[in-house]
Structures are given as C-alpha cells and as structure tokens.
Chains A and B, each alone.
Chain A
Amino acid sequence: MSIPLLTTVVVIYLTVIAILSLQAWKKTRTAADYLVAGRQIHPFVMALSYGATFVSTSAIIGFGGAAAVFGMSLQWLTFLTVFVGVFIAFVFFGRRTRVMGLNLNAHTFPEFLGLRFESTRLQGATGLLIFLAMPLYASVVLMGGAKFIAQILAINYNVALFFLTIFVAVYVIMGGLKAVMYTDAFQGSMMFIGMVSLLVATYSKLGGFITAHQRLTDMQDLAIKIFGAKGHTGWTNFPQFGSEYWLVVVTTIVLGVGIGVLAQPQLIVRFMTVKSNRELNRAVLIGGIFVLIVVGVSLAIGALANVYFYYENPDTTGQIALIAAGKNVSEIIPLYISSSMPQWFTAVFMITLLSAAMSTLSSQFHAMGTALGRDIYEKALNRSGNSVILTKIGILFAILISYFLAWALPTFFEGGTAIIARGTAIFFGICAAAFLPMYFGALYYRNMTRLSAWACFFTGTLTSLFWLFFVHAKESKPLMVCNALFGVDSLGEGTLWAVVDPLVIALPASALVTILFNLKQTKDCSVRHIERCFHNIN
C-alpha cells in the first residue's frame, strides 16, 4: 500500500487527536476534572468512550480471528455485550453508581467501594489489584497496536511501540479523563465508520446477508472434517454441548467477556462522568448501536472470511481462513482486509484499528494511574498532596510498567507472548470475580457488610489466581508454575477442566462467599452513612 497515502491519513488523524487533547487540557483545572471529567460529559461522548474503551484492536482482531475458527456461535457474545454490557450495565448499575458516586464524592471505582464500605484499606487493596493486573491487559493492547503499526507502515516493532506509548502518554497525562473521553469519542466514531463500511463491503461481496450465511452453512462438512473432534458442528451452528469447543466458546469468550464487562473499573468510572441520569438514558441508545456494530461486525466478518478465502480469493482457493493465514488466528482479519478490500479501505481500517488501540490504552493508563496515585498513595497510605499531580505521577508509572511488559516479556521470557495474549481474559476474569458481587451488593443491598466485601475480594482474587496458575491450561502452561511444582502443565490435564475459564469458577465462589458472610447480620456501617449512600436512590 502507498506509504505517502498512509502517512497523510495518520498525520491528519493524529492532528485531530492533538487538537482534542489540547481542548481537554485547557478545560482541566480541578481533581474532579482530571479524574471524572468534571461530571459534565455529553451522553454521545460518554457512550462512545465506553464502547471504544471496551473494544480494543486485540478484540477486533482477536474476536474476529476466533470467529473464523468457532463460527457464528460467537454472536452470543454480541448479544451479551449489548444486553449486559450496555443495557444492564447502564440501567441497573450505571444510574445507581452515578447517584451514589455523587453522594459520596467518589472519583474512581476503588474510591467508590472504599467510601461505600467506609474503608480506605479496601480502596487501597482494590486499587492495588487493578494496578497489578491491568498492566498485562494494557500490554496486550500496546503490543497489538504496535505490531499493527509496524506491519502497515513497514517500520520496526520497537519504534512503533515507543511512539504509540509516547503519544498516548502525552495526552492522557496532560488532559486526564477529559482528554481520554474526547479522543475516545472521535476514535469511537472512526471505529463505527470503519466497521459499517466493512459490513456492507463484505456482505455485498459474498452475495447478500442470507446468501453469505448460506454459503458458510454449506461448508459444514469441511468444518466437521477439520475441527469435528473438538466439537465443531459447522460455522453457522453451535459447538457440540460439553465439548472442548463448547467450553471455550461459552465459558471463555461468551461469559468471560460478556459478564466480565460489568466489573471493569475503567468502564465503571464513566458512569460518574455524566451530569444526570438523563445523560445515561440517552447513552443507552447510542451505546447499544455502537457495540452492536463494532463487536457484531468483527465476529460476523471473521466467520465469513472462510467463504471469502475458500471460494472468492484466487490465491487461497480451497483454503479455510485459518490455513490461509498460516494457522495464525490474529492474522486472519488483517489478511482478509488487505486481500479483499481496495487500498483506500485499508487506510480507513488502519485508522479504525489505531483508534481501537489508542482509546483502550488511554483509559487503561488513566485507570492504573488513578489507582496508584489517588487510591493507594493518597487515600490508603494517607499521604497528602495535589491529587492531580499525584495521579499524573501514577499514570507515568503505569505507562512505564505496561511499556516494559510489552517490550520485555516477549523478548526475555519463553512463553511471554502467550502470557500477554491472555492478558485481556486474565484481567476480565479477575475483575469480575473480585469486584462484581461486592459492586452489586454495594448498589443494591443496604446491609452489606464490610467483612463480606473483603471476603468477596479475597475469594475472587485467590480463586482466579489458583485457576490461572494451576488449572486453565491456556495460562498455566506459559506461566510454568504448575509444571515446576507438579511436573504437569495443568492439574486438570487430560480433562475438560483444563479448558474451563477461571471466571465461571471464581465468580460463583466469590458470590457465594459474599452471601454467606452477609448471613450474619452484623452492621458495620452506621444508619446515617447508609442513608447518605442511598440518598435519591429508589
């Protein structure tokens, strides 16, 4: 592809980002501006920022690639991300979070929990878990973005990694959450345009909506021949119940991401950035359409890429998508774009993917920085100082750690790339198990005790870590701890337990423990405090 054309497109894109960041920087004066965007964000900006943060480059390429293998059954993930990730999240979690956050003057998710349960230690512990677990997730996005830039612009990976990090770092540190959300909204718009174009182009190329599906359905025998032993029953059918593929689709992809989205600190904080519930109501409409397109299209296109490579592309005739991409799942979508779309579209899609990477990264850097600066240093350790400056220092630390992981893990450790590739699933799983029951209880159960919040936190975190290190083979194998201690890659080796995602074990465990610890009705928060928390919540 023409390098001058690409460079021009990238320069225009970066200029718009720079202008938006400058605007945000000028409007950022107080800690509330820096941490919760002054609680004045427009619903359009909020909804697009939420969606763009949730969907990263790795998600578009990773989900799309996974759909090329598992097929249309992954559309259940689109259903959960729209229904749970937008409707349930905004209506049943978001509205209460906003009101309670304002009642308590919370600026971050850990601070929200800490103030609700009157425990700065809980705030510190929550912040610490975010600060420790999120760099791995951020490094996935950094690596994905940098690899993509390196490939498209034909430059060295380390150079791309360095400049991507620096650019995002500058605008996040300068403009705080306002800069993050303004740029997210622009980047979200780019993602939306790119995905709609891809949807229209793909279906028209393959003969229309139903014809394209039917052609994929007609490849059923081929799918069963290649993947049938693992439970595949065709790209437009659900995998065989209880099979290895069924467990991966249902537990890791559909539930892991679809439920995990409810307990993401970088998403929850967005509920506290709007002025009133009216903005959240409006954001439901915008967010629902955005997530449908961005998640749904990447999954549909991934599965349909099999039809394109098998029948339409002369260079790969008779090859399914996975084979055409050299058995590299993450290469399927880029290869599909570069081989099936015109040059101008490749440029549009490059901006789509760059936007997806930068919008997620900026939010991750901000969430990690606030966890370190605000929640751990300022609140849990009770050190005084200017909140904005402390948070800026926190963000800088978080960026350095994420950059170091993205650079060093694949370079120095065997299996480093495999660990990073699991970063998103690891972070989603830990957050859901450690935070979701506590977060739900904080919003809906007035008598929930501080002890039960701690029990939820520890049970969720420890169960997740045990499953990650010793049972779920996708992580336990590259982590190598299980092998060093027991001589096997997974304690569940040879059984289906090794493919069961940590979330479906750790979340029920932490929910059960939270309930059990609440059975003993010891009230550790005063009636006055509870009234203050639930003021204006009915």
Chain B
Amino acid sequence: MLGLEGILVPLGMILTLLSTVLCIIYGLLNWNKGYMTDEEFCQEQQWNEEEKHVEEQL
C-alpha cells in the first residue's frame, strides 16, 4: 500500500494523516467556542492589579 511494505508502516502513515484530519476537524468545529468568560476576564484583571501592587511595594 502506498508503495510501502507490510502493515505497520502504511498504518503509521495512515494514522498520521487521520490525526492531522482530526486536528483540522476539531479546530474548525470549535473555532469560535470557549472564548473568555466575564469571570475569567475579572480574574485576569485582579491578578494584574495584584501584580502592580506588589511591584509598587517593591
């Protein structure tokens, strides 16, 4: 198959291509999913404030 011998090497190549297809499909299906929640935004702001405070103290 594909000019290759035995089962394992062609299988490795097919699995490689399938894995890449999986990555592409997963990326496309979830392209707009999982954006930052308001809570995460607040959390990040809080850490930034804390960091500024620590730096000012130093």
Contacts of A269-288 to chain B: CB distance below 8 A:
275-278, 280-288
Minimum C-beta distance from A71 to chain B (A): 8
Q: What is the total number of residues of chain B having a CB less than 8 Å from a CB of chain A?
A: 39
From known contacts A76-B12, A79-B16, infer whether A103 and B43 are also in contact, taking CB-CB under 8 Å. Answer: yes
Q: How far is the CB of B56 from chain A (nearest CB, A)?
A: 11
Say which one of A204-212, A453-461, A511-519 lies at the interface with B: A204-212
CB-defined contacts of A237 to chain B, threshold 8 Å: 4-6, 8-9
Shortest C-beta distance, B17 to chain A (Å), equals 8
Q: Are A82 and B3 in contact (CB under 8 A)?
A: no
The verdict on A282 contacting B3 (CB below 8 Å), with A73-B12, A87-B23 known, is no
Interface string of B13-42 (1 = CB under 8 A from A): 101110110111011101111111101100
Q: Nearest Cβ in chain B — how far from A536, in angstroms? A: 7
- A217 and B24 CA atoms in complex are apart in Å by 31
Known contacts A87-B26, A289-B24, A292-B16: does B40 contact A238 (CB below 8 Å)? no
Cβ A105 vs Cβ B26 within 8 A: no
The number of residue pairs between A and B whose CB atoms lie closer than 8 Å in the complex comes to: 143
**A86 sits at the interface (CB 8 A):** yes
Does A8 lie at the interface of the complex (its beta carbon under 8 Å from any beta carbon of B)?
A: no
Q: Which of A275, A285, A384 contacts B58 (CB 8 A)?
A: A384
CB distance from B21 to the nearest CB of A (A): 9
Neighbouring A residues of B8 by C-beta, 8 Å: 73, 76, 237-238
Known: A280-B34, A281-B33, A289-B20. A210 touches B47 (CB 8 A): no
Closest CB of chain B to A504's CB: distance in Å? 18
**Residue of A82, A275, A280, A289 with highest tally of chain B CB at under 10 A:** A82
Q: Which 6 pairs from chain A and chain B are nearest by CB? A: A285-B27, A288-B23, A213-B3, A277-B34, A281-B30, A276-B36
User: B-side interface residues toward A, CB under 8 Å?
Assistant: 2-6, 8-9, 12-13, 15-17, 19-20, 22-24, 26-28, 30-37, 39-40, 43-44, 47-48, 50-52, 55, 58
